[in-house]
Amino acid sequence: MTSTPRISFEFFPPKTPEGCAKLLKTRAALQQFHPDFFSITYGAGGSTRNTTAEIAIEERRRGISIAPHLSFGCDDETTLLTLLNRYKNANINRIVALRGDMPSGMGATAQLVYASELIAFIRHHTDSHFHLEVAAYPEIHPEAESYIKDIHFLKRKFEAGANSALTQYFYNVDSYFYFLDQCQKFGIDAPIIPGIMPIVNFTNLARFSRNCGAEIPRWLQLRMKSYSNLEDMRKLGLEVVTTLCQRLLQGGAPGLHFYTLNAAKPSTDILHALSF
Catalytic positions, written as ranges: 10
Q: What amino acid occupies position 166?
A: L
Which CA distances in Å does 276 have to 1, 5, 271? 13, 10, 5
Residue 114 engages ligand FAD in binding (rule: CB under 6 A): yes
Residue 41 engages ligand FAD in binding (rule: CB under 6 A): yes
Q: Which stretch binds ligand FAD (CB under 6 A): 58-66, 112-120, 217-225, 266-274?
A: 112-120
**Smallest distance from the beta carbon of 227 to ligand FAD, in angstroms?**
28
Count residues binding ligand FAD (CB under 6 A).
24
- Which of 5, 13, 100, 237: binder of ligand FAD (CB under 6 A)? 100
**Smallest distance from the beta carbon of 99 to ligand FAD, in angstroms?**
3
CA atoms of 21 and 155, how far apart (whole Å): 39
- Which of 56, 95, 115, 119: binder of ligand FAD (CB under 6 A)? 115
Q: Which of 165, 238 has the CB closer to ligand FAD?
A: 165
Q: What amino acid occupies position 133?
A: E
Q: Which of 41, 260 has the CB closer to ligand FAD?
A: 41
Q: Which of 86, 141 has the CB closer to ligand FAD?
A: 141
Asked whether 159 and 190 are in contact (CB, 8 A), the reply is no
Asked whether 270 and 242 are in contact (CB, 8 A), the reply is yes
Which CA distances in Å does 228 have to 210, 224, 251, 274? 22, 8, 34, 27
CA atoms of 126 and 148, how far apart (whole Å): 31
Q: Which of 135, 199 has the CB closer to ligand FAD?
A: 135
Site string for ligand FAD, 235-274 (x = CB under 6 A): ----------------------------------------
CA atoms of 200 and 268, how far apart (whole Å): 13
Q: Which stretch binds ligand FAD (CB under 6 A): 122-130, 142-150, 180-188, 231-239?
A: 142-150
- Three-class DSSP category at 168: strand
**Smallest distance from the beta carbon of 131 to ligand FAD, in angstroms?**
14
Which CA distances in Å does 235 have to 79, 110, 202, 217, 240? 45, 42, 12, 17, 9
- Which of 195, 237, 255, 266: binder of ligand FAD (CB under 6 A)? 195
Residue 168 engages ligand FAD in binding (rule: CB under 6 A): yes
Asked whether 139 and 175 are in contact (CB, 8 A), the reply is yes
Residue 141 engages ligand FAD in binding (rule: CB under 6 A): yes
Question: DSSP letters along 40-82, please?
Answer: E---GGGTTHHHHHHHHHHHHHTT--EEEEE--TT--HHHHHH
Residues in the site for ligand FAD, rule: CB under 6 A?
Answer: 41-42, 44, 69, 71, 96, 98-101, 114-116, 135, 141, 143-144, 149-150, 153, 157, 166, 168, 195
